[in-house]
Amino acid sequence: MRKVKKPVFFIVFAVIALFTLSTIFGVHSQYGDIVKTYVHGVGDIRLGIDIQGGVDVTFEPAGDVDATEEQMDAALETIKLRLANQNISDSETYLDYKSNRIIVRYPWQAGETDFNPEQAVKELGETAELTFRKGTDTSTDENGDTIPAGDIVLTGADVAQASTGGSKDDATGEITWVVTLDLNDSGKEKFYEATSELYQSKGQISIWMDNTMISAPSVSAVISDGKASISGNFTYESAKELADKINSGALPFSLETTSFKTISPTMGEGALNAMVIAGLITLLLIVVYMIVLYRLLGVVASITLIGQVAGMLAAVSGWFGFMSSTTLTIPGIAGIILSVGMGVDANIITGERIREELRKGKTLDTALYSGYHRAFSAIFDGNLTGILVSIVLMGAFGVPSSIWAKIFNHTIFWFFGATTEGVIYSFGFTLMTGLIMNFIMGVFAARLMTMSLSRFKCFQNKKLYGGGIDVKAD
């Protein structure tokens, strides 16, 4: 650090400024009506239902049913399908195998005025109707909705189990995935008659979940033993998804709602606006306070604090290519504010250590070097403790769709499972990223900028750093 040159300040400042601007506005290109995003900005941040408004519901098997993991997977596929049928595209679904819970969250849709969340949730939890039908013909009901028109071959009650299977090609090493069906005695004869008829005409048997066709395989053989397979260009994931959907139509249980809450988008937007305004006012007051109290050190601290906030927003929006975006909730905003407070605390500790060194009569370079060195241990201990707490929060209250929660929940926090308190994960995530950015900005970048400024003759006055004697740098 003693060899930091004059241009370093301008380089670091430019990096922080460009990083902050790209975080706020993002990087986009537009050709006609097509907009291509290269870097996500704050406008791309996904807002949680506590801000945007929406529904948070938890389903469990009704009665004393102890569902298997396969049955829970199948039930989840049914819910996903019904969400899509209700035109709910921005939803979050989580499975907690340990507690046999399915957690569903989705925000209010833009422009909704007559949406009935209670009815929507009721429809999500209803037992799915699985049917196998001759052909793929459809018709419309009295509401104009598309419904299947073919004769029913089988229902969910006729299917004992659907599963995935694969065969490996010895020459190429590729695995061909299929979906296998095992039928109950009630379905064997009906399926034999249908496949005998359709095999001659090279017809199809379509598979429907409620009023949605999920597959339409062609009949390529007469099935008399109740064991069939569906082939196609399946991957393991797509084959398992189809098997789960078929199994969901034959679930031996219905789902009941054990937790249900809604939040008005007006309330969420009001809370967001209040917190944003409060945050901006607080940041401005902090900048003024730091500059008045610590002068040049306060200017540097203010620049790095802005960079720290930009880093947290970048992590949430998906600015960094190696990690996906996360949902920002009101507790997440609280995590941002708390980490800014800890960043201010780190700058105050550093400023006071430098002041102490200057009061001892040390030269400017020596005081700066010693002050940053002495302050680092206290900053490190405080931030490390906060990071550990945030990791516990993310592991305990995270949801499996998050990359960080996957890491934590499949290592030391595997026993927690998914919870209905995903908003707490948002708090832990923003707090952790804020504290990491505090190390980068408040410690590393601030030291580079301060040591660089001390190279300029006009900034070699102890008064600018809290001292009282004019000295030259070493």
Please state the rounded mean pLDDT for residues 424-447.
90
Residue that has been written with the tokens 């519901």 in this structure: 57
pLDDT tens, position by position, 85-99: 666 666 778 888 888
Is the pLDDT reported for residue 394 higher than 60?
Answer: yes
DSSP code of residue 474 = -
Closest by alpha carbon to 218, among 227, 229, 210? 229
| CATH number reported for the structural domain that contains residue 103 in this entry | 3.30.70.3400
**pLDDT score of 401:** 44
**pLDDT score of 410:** 45
**pLDDT score of 202:** 84
26 belongs to a structural domain:
yes
What token pair was written down for 162? 């659907």
- The domain of 76 spans 54-127+254-263
Q: Give the pLDDT band of residue 420 (cuts 50, 70, 90).
A: very low
**Same-domain status, 307 and 354:** yes
pLDDT tens, position by position, 345-361: 999 999 899 988 888 88
228 belongs to a structural domain:
yes
User: What is the C-alpha to C-alpha distance for residues 170 and 167, in angstroms, rounded to an integer?
Assistant: 9
Boundary-marking domain end, from 202, 236, 263: 263
**Same-domain status, 35 and 82:** no
pLDDT tens, position by position, 167-216: 887 788 788 899 999 999 989 999 999 999 999 888 999 999 888 898 99
User: How much is the mean pLDDT over the chain?
Assistant: 82
**Same-domain status, 177 and 236:** yes
Distances (CA, A) of 420 to 117, 144, 258, 413: 18, 37, 11, 16
Question: Which range is most confident: 20-34, 294-308, 403-417?
Answer: 294-308
SS3 455: coil
Q: Give the pLDDT band of residue 473 (cuts 50, 70, 90).
A: very low
Is the pLDDT reported for residue 1 higher than 50?
Answer: no
Closest by alpha carbon to 89, among 65, 107, 66, 71? 107
| CATH number reported for the structural domain that contains residue 202 in this entry | 3.30.1360.200
Is the pLDDT reported for residue 316 higher than 70?
Answer: yes
Is the pLDDT reported for residue 411 higher than 50?
Answer: no
Can you say how many angstroms the Cα of residue 107 is from the centroid of all Cα atoms in its chain? 14
Q: Give the pLDDT band of residue 412 (cuts 50, 70, 90).
A: very low
Closest by alpha carbon to 298, among 344, 265, 360? 344
Please give the residue that has the higher pLDDT: either 279 or 352: 352
H or E element: which one contains 126? none
Boundary-marking domain end, from 263, 291, 317: 263
The model's pTM is: 0.66
Terminal-residue alpha carbon distance, the chain: 13
What token pair was written down for 142? 């009295």
DSSP code string of 372-416: HHHHHHHHHHHHHHHHHHHHHHHHHH--TTSHHHHHHHTTTTTTT
**pLDDT score of 467:** 60
| CATH number reported for the structural domain that contains residue 431 in this entry | 1.20.1640.10
**Same-domain status, 378 and 441:** yes
Residue that has been written with the tokens 């395989």 in this structure: 217
Boundary-marking domain end, from 235, 263, 291: 263
58 belongs to a structural domain:
yes
Q: Is the dihedral of CA 341, 342, 347, 350 positive or negative?
A: positive
79 belongs to a structural domain:
yes
Residue that has been written with the tokens 């209010």 in this structure: 108
Is the pLDDT reported for residue 262 higher than 90?
Answer: no
pLDDT tens, position by position, 204-255: 999 998 888 989 999 999 999 999 999 888 888 888 888 888 887 766 677 8
**pLDDT score of 20:** 93
Contact 377, 387 (CB under 8 A): no
Plot region of 240 (φ>0 → left; ψ -120 to 50 → alpha; else → beta): alpha
**Same-domain status, 171 and 118:** no
Number of domains present in the structure of the chain:
3
pLDDT tens, position by position, 131-168: 999 999 999 888 788 889 999 999 888 888 889 988 88
**Same-domain status, 355 and 392:** yes
**pLDDT score of 269:** 66
pLDDT tens, position by position, 18-77: 999 999 988 888 776 677 778 888 888 877 777 777 888 888 988 777 888 888 888 888
**pLDDT score of 419:** 45
**Same-domain status, 205 and 308:** no
Closest by alpha carbon to 392, among 374, 373, 415? 415
DSSP code of residue 458 = G
471 belongs to a structural domain:
no
474 belongs to a structural domain:
no
**Same-domain status, 304 and 162:** no
Contact 426, 351 (CB under 8 A): no
Q: Give the pLDDT band of residue 414 (cuts 50, 70, 90).
A: very low
384-387 own/partner pairs: CB under 8 Å, 24+ apart = 386/339, 386/342, 386/431, 386/432, 386/435, 387/432, 387/435, 387/436
**Same-domain status, 275 and 354:** yes
Is the pLDDT reported for residue 400 higher than 80?
Answer: no
Please give the residue that has the higher pLDDT: either 418 or 9: 9
Type of residue found at 87: N
**Same-domain status, 385 and 461:** yes
**Same-domain status, 175 and 108:** no
What token pair was written down for 89? 């595209």
**Same-domain status, 244 and 150:** yes
416 belongs to a structural domain:
yes
Closest by alpha carbon to 327, among 405, 233, 256, 425? 425
Contact 146, 138 (CB under 8 A): yes
Distances (CA, A) of 204 to 64, 155, 220, 221, 253: 39, 16, 9, 11, 30
Please give the residue that has the higher pLDDT: either 463 or 85: 463
User: What is the C-alpha to C-alpha distance for residues 289 and 312, in angstroms, rounded to an integer?
Assistant: 22
User: What is the C-alpha to C-alpha distance for residues 264 and 257, in angstroms, rounded to an integer?
Assistant: 20
